[in-house]
Amino acid sequence: MYLKQTILACLLVTVSQAALADQLRLKAGYPESYVVQKGDTLWDISGKYLSEPWLWPRLWNINPQIANPHWIYPGDVLHLSWVNGEPRLGKAMQGGKQVIRLGPKTRYENKANPIPTLPISEIGPFLQTDHILADSQQQKTLPYLLGSDQKHIGMLEGDTLYVQGSLTPGQVYGIYHPGVVYKDRETGELLGQEAIFAGVVRAVARLDGERTEVTLTHNQREVLQGDKVMPLPAQENMPAVFTPKAAPAITPGYIIDLPNKTRGGGKFDVVLINRGGRDQLVAGDVLDVRRPGAALVTKNGDVQYKELSSVFNRMFYSNNKKAPLPSEAIARVMLFKVYDKVSYGLIMQSNDMVSAGYQVTHF
């Protein structure tokens, strides 16, 4: 009897500890209510309440009576409440309508521009102008620049140019140079090719033979014959609002590039990883970045880091009997633009510099 009581007590303690560990914990000093400010991001607001902002879906109280209930606008009043002992953050309601505070008075209003999840200043260019071309077949089907009657090799703002391809008069298009070809370092699979934004043209008129007259309206860098032409998304159509959450379980991948071409990245730097939609990833997913454990070389009992040892020692004394030192989680990345095989992510937290080749995985 005593043994059964002891076992039951242990089980109750275990269950209680598991429930406590799973409980959503708020940061010290969290606000009971908050008026959303212009310039806020969803990550900012989540960080006011949570040490782990990717747990936002557990905190945010979705109201099915509101259209697009996950959208938050400047002026919205957010209020913290408790449901069955769990914190819930939602928009303050009055008379069944959303309360909007725009100044000393309170009124009801629908607004068009929800706050973004991440800083537009950091991710805007990647959402609007940067592209990864999926394969060579896609490149072959894209319209491209033929040149100008002035026979300029490098085209200038204001030039009249001609494009091989049928474009829509009045619409603006981006001009792109072919960039880095990305291949999987382990399988050799083609992951895509970087398309480097060079400028903007406006389509003027369609001509015979599937050609279009265009005007070069903006130079980001030199525009050349053969550059590809692709539509630019309208500012209001940029997918800048998505839900932060922990990524699903994935086969670990790695950072294949830092598009800003720095040797190491820190908070709010952009990375490109070799995992994407085919791995069930979506914008808003948060992943761990892990620095590889150091490889070792042992010679006559003397241990050295492999990268600092001589070529001779690396060839003949590499420590094959022992695994490298353990990898270490040093950063968290949120994905904001997901292709099939690759994704762009923004470093949200970092304890050290992040480099190409570092592992990305779920946590």
**CA end-to-end span of the chain:** 42
Under DSSP, is residue 194 helix (H, G, I), strand (E, B) or coil? strand
The tokens describing 286, both together, are 């948060």
How does pLDDT run across 232-282, given as a tens digit for each residue? 876 555 678 999 999 999 999 999 999 987 789 999 999 999 999 999 999
Percent of the chain with pLDDT over 90: 63
pLDDT digits (tens, 9 = 90+) for 290-329: 999 888 777 766 777 766 667 666 666 565 556 688 999 9
What does each C-alpha distance from 327 to 292, 324, 355, 356 come to in angstroms?
Answer: 5, 8, 14, 15
Could you give the angle at the alpha carbon of 124 between the alpha carbons of 120 and 128, nearest 5°? 150
- Tens of pLDDT, residue by residue over 181-220, are 999 999 999 999 999 999 999 999 999 879 999 999 999 9
Domains and CATH numbers, the chain: 2-115 (no CATH), 122-237 (2.40.33), 245-292+327-361 (2.40.30)
217 burial class (0-12, 13-18, 19+ CB within 10 angstroms)?
A: middle
As a whole number of angstroms, the distance between CA 165 and CA 174 comes to 14
Closest CA to 253 of 270, 234, 278: 278
CA 78 from centre of chain? 26
